[in-house]
Structure 1
Amino acid sequence: MAAVLAGCDQSGAGKPAFKAVDITGAEYARELALSDGDGRRRSLAEFKGKVVVVFFGFTQCPDVCPTTMGELAEVKRALGADGARVQGIFVSVDPARDTPEVLKAYVANFGPDMLGLRGTPEETLAAARHFKVYFNKVPGKTDTSYTVDHTAGSYVFDTQGKVRLFTRYGSGAQALADDIRLLLAEAAA
């Protein structure tokens, strides 16, 4: 009987049913200030009014990064006119190879308004720590053939600039689109 009653608990009533992990109120992932491909310093604060999706990766990633960015581009298309209210941000964890030019060209593959950010090695480490993102250079056969292990998930910020969700890699475009629709509806209410 207790199990049946627990299923009737209404404490979550009125809260959106996100598919991603709800991290509303987290004490991390609150700020991000790095340079874009043109060398301009960018921050999360300039995107208030939009839902922002932040993903840490590297341009030579063979699978997780292009899949994640491709899904985000798909989500923006699926949202129609509301897709313009979504900002994708790719943060490089490989600033040695992800030069401003390389990063700018990479994110352009996923849409003209996708933004790539990078920092010095120290800034990159500080940003990753603030977001609780893991990354580690894995040596290859040559100095330039290394890969980078990294956290494979994205952070989603609401239109007020507050971190709300962590989406796990592999959740799919539909789940992200559904969550973004909820956040956009919340902003309109």
Structure 2
Amino acid sequence: MLVIGSVAAAIVLVAGGVYVAQRDTGGVDFASCRIGNVAGGMDSFGTEFQLTRDDGQRVSAEQVFTKPSLLYFGYTMCPDVCPMDSARNADAAALLKDQGMDVQTVMITVDPKRDTPEVLKDFTDLFSEDMIGLTGTDEEIAAVNKGWRNYYRANDQEDDEYYLVDHMTNTYLVMPGNKTVEFFARDVSPELMAERVGCFVNAMG
């Protein structure tokens, strides 16, 4: 399932079709860990990118995904969904840290007009000092969202200051080397997310 979140509701889209390919990350077999299946397989998610980190530095995908990462697409002026999802992801990473696993959280904005690096930094620090926020130009953000098959739309036609942004609410598990191996819907608890991510991390050895 791929989920779109808005202020009032979450719309569920079922990705039809047959699971085609399993993700091959350095020869590691993740089949026993994977629950989410989508048309085309997880190989169809992800892309190279150059974005601006919340410290103002330009970074590539390889520079960001140096460790297992929980990747989320959201925005800082989101009134409810994004804060809850970001808190859940941070809680899962904290649980994994208690188990000796180094997993980071990353948020790429779907609202580059308002989400400057400074704004992103203030937002991500609310949840974890280790959470990475990424922004860029309209074109860069559109390209990276397309790479993860993430739908978003800014409702700024009548108000260009206090608008809302419709967007999907999946969190993706991205392994070092920018390899996406799993996704999580927003109804997954921190405990279940930590358990499933831990399976992937342990499989890497």
> Is this contact kept in 1: 2:33–2:200, CA < 8 A?
no
In the superposition, the TM-score normalised over structure 1's length comes to: 0.82
Greater Cα shift, 132-141 or 146-155: 132-141
Q: Residue 148 of structure 2 aligns with which residue?
A: 131
Distance 1:55 1:14 in 2: 21
> Is this contact kept in 2: 1:107–1:114, CA < 8 A?
yes
Q: CA deviation at 1:82?
A: 4.8
Q: Is 1:18 matched with 2:12?
A: no
Q: CA deviation at 1:27?
A: 2.9
Q: Which amino acid aligns with 1:151?
A: M
Query: Which of 95, 101, 104 is the matching residue for 1:78?
Result: 95
Equivalent position SS for 1:55: strand
Distance 1:181 1:53 in 2: 12
Q: CA deviation at 1:142?
A: 3.2
Q: Residue 47 of structure 2 aligns with which residue?
A: 30
Q: CA deviation at 1:126?
A: 1.0
The residue correspondences of 1:56-135 to structure 2 (distance < 5 A) are 56-82=73-99, 85-135=102-152
Greater Cα shift, 49-58 or 76-85: 76-85
> Is this contact kept in 2: 1:54–1:90, CA < 8 A?
yes
Question: Sequence identity, in percent?
Answer: 30
Distance 2:117 2:144 in 1: 17
Q: Residue 170 of structure 1 aligns with which residue?
A: 187
Count matched residues: 177
Equivalent position SS for 1:88: strand
Q: Write 1 or 2 for the structure with the bigger share of helix.
A: 1
Distance 1:92 1:48, change over 3 A: closer
RMSD of Structure 2 on Structure 1 (CA): 2.5
Equivalent position SS for 2:43: coil
- For each residue in 1:115-140, what CA deviation from the matched residue of structure 2 results, as whole angstroms up to 9, or x when unmatched? 00001011111111111111001148
> Is this contact kept in 1: 2:172–2:184, CA < 8 A?
yes
> Is this contact kept in 1: 2:62–2:176, CA < 8 A?
no
Q: CA deviation at 1:28?
A: 3.0
- For each residue in 1:150-174, what CA deviation from the matched residue of structure 2 results, as whole angstroms up to 9, or x when unmatched? 0111111124541101111121212
